[in-house]
Amino acid sequence: MMDIDPHDYYEEKTRKRSTKRKTSYKGAETKQTSGFVPHTENQKLLWEAMNESSQVFVLGPAGTGKTYVTATYAADEYITNV
């Protein structure tokens, strides 16, 4: 059995997956996004709560934007803090 360092294995796997896809849309790489626009008052409240607290517990019926708001917030934090 071959001993493989998990760290080296992970780096090799992520290096293979990190290919940038080409797009036919002109200017897509440099286009500025408009940012998050809440569709409802509750989505706005959720966004503000995530800005003010390190943990937020969210409940609600399907289709209300819980995943959309939280994923957009996470992506925004990643882009601005990296």
Give whole-number Cα distances, 57 to 25, 69, 71, 72, 74, in Å. 38, 13, 14, 16, 15
Which of 54, 53, 50 lies closest to 69 in space, CA to CA?
Answer: 50
C-alpha to C-alpha distance for 38 and 20, rounded to whole angstroms: 30
For 14-69, what is each residue's pLDDT tens digit?
Answer: 454 444 556 666 766 666 665 788 899 999 999 999 999 999 999 999 999 999 99
Rounded Cα distance, 56 and 67, in Å: 13
Q: What is the pLDDT of residue 19?
A: 47
- What is the rounded distance in angstroms from the CA atom of residue 6 to the CA atom of residue 70? 31
Residues in the chain: 82
User: Hey, where are the domains in the chain?
Assistant: 38-82
Q: Which two tokens stand for residue 12?
A: 């090799």
Single pTM value for the model: 0.57
